[in-house]
Amino acid sequence: MFIRVYLWLQFCIAAIALAAAPPLAHAQTAWPSKPVRIVAPSAAGSAADNVARIVAPQLSERIGQPVVVEARPGAGTILGAEIVAKSPPDGHTLLVGLPGLAINPSIYKSLPYELKDFAPITQAVQQPNLVVVHPSLPVRTAKELIALAKARPGELAYASGGVGASSHLTIELFMLMSGTKMLHVPYKGPVPGLIDLVAGRVQLMATSTSTALPQVRNGRLRALGVTTAKRAAGLPDIPTVAETGLPGYESVTWFGFMAPAATPKEIVARLNKEIVAMLVQPDIKERFAREGAEVVAGTPEEFGAYVRAEAAKWAKVVKAAGIKPE
């Protein structure tokens, strides 16, 4: 009798403990359990911030939780990237990946993260940079800009979103291919640089179409050309830099979504599914096209391979140009 009572008590204790313990399978799949944060590692109003804000509302509807966009500029995208790399890998903090992520390892000897610290989710869009000048600069084509830069070596000042930013490397590639020399003026993100360009404090800039187009359309800046090999489908009237004076020139700005590296694969897969489904909707594709951007939605593996290829490409430009950190 005693033994039966003892065994019954042990069974009850085990049952109570089992009921109190969080079910493992549920814990692994109960995502999201709180609001999701998307960190854009550049200033509010920048192209990365814009991509995040287009994606956020529909992603929120799909996952049933608020999706908050947080612009964290600084140190050439390093600050925002570090925040995500060191966040809990639970799928609740995401990064808008952009070219600076692939460029910085070639410039900085010591970074607070490595590319392997991020889990690719999907590439979102690609878009050309737009080479724009202040209207006071007497040039209308890449050929005329090259001629003026050669006539005034080191005098023309170009803005960028920071050392190693896409806006920086795009002009460095231009100078390498054209044999010109211009003065680099880095800012903490593309928007402050664009403000100074509109004010006439610098003479030119290469920045994303979504950032520059409003100022071109209102006449405050003049567009010389897009930096892709072909004209942007959404901007057919703007020629390429290659066709107006620098054959073979190409520089693409890309944006995608990443999570901390140890994020469970099932969460990465769910994020990929939801973001890709949203990106390929006709209204979203049209919205990006109006800004000169093309939707590129794929697998995590495809995005990871693309980022590695970009890192290798820009490492050659950094070396050739002798770019050093500030």
Gap between the Cα atoms of 102 and 59, Å rounded: 26
Tell me the domains of the chain and their CATH numbers: 36-126+252-321 (3.40.190.150), 128-226 (3.40.190.10)
pLDDT of residue 17: 47
pLDDT tens per residue, range 117-154: 999 999 999 988 999 999 999 999 999 999 999 999 99
Residue corresponding to tokens 């190409």: 250
pLDDT of residue 10: 53
Among the ranges given (8-12, 139-143, 184-188, 237-241), the one the predictor scored with the smallest mean pLDDT: 8-12
- Taken in order 190, 194, 196, 201, the sign of the CA dihedral is positive
pLDDT at 324 over 90: no
**Residue 4 pLDDT class (50, 70, 90 cuts):** low
- Taken in order 123, 96, 300, 91, the sign of the CA dihedral is negative
pLDDT tens per residue, range 13-26: 444 444 554 443 33
pLDDT of residue 14: 47
pLDDT of residue 3: 45
pLDDT of residue 5: 44
**Residue 87 pLDDT class (50, 70, 90 cuts):** very high
Residue 7 vs residue 144, higher pLDDT? 144
Overall average pLDDT of the 257-272 stretch: 97
pLDDT of residue 208: 85
For residue 159, the cross-strand partners are 185, 205
Overall average pLDDT of the 239-262 stretch: 95
pLDDT of residue 29: 52
CB 182 within 8 A of CB 175: yes
Overall average pLDDT of the 274-284 stretch: 95
pLDDT of residue 46: 83
pLDDT tens per residue, range 300-315: 999 999 999 999 989 9
Output the six-digit token pair for 129. Answer: 């940079």
pLDDT of residue 47: 83
**Residue 190 pLDDT class (50, 70, 90 cuts):** confident
Q: Considering just the CA atoms, what is the radius of gyration of the chain in Å?
A: 24
Overall average pLDDT of the 145-172 stretch: 94
- Taken in order 8, 12, 13, 17, the sign of the CA dihedral is positive
**Residue 259 pLDDT class (50, 70, 90 cuts):** very high
The b-or-e profile of 194-230 (16+ CB within 10 A means b, else e) is bebbbeeebbbbbbbbbbbbebbeeebbbbbbbbbee
pLDDT of residue 7: 43
The overall average pLDDT reported for the chain is: 89
- First and final C-alpha spacing in the chain: 81
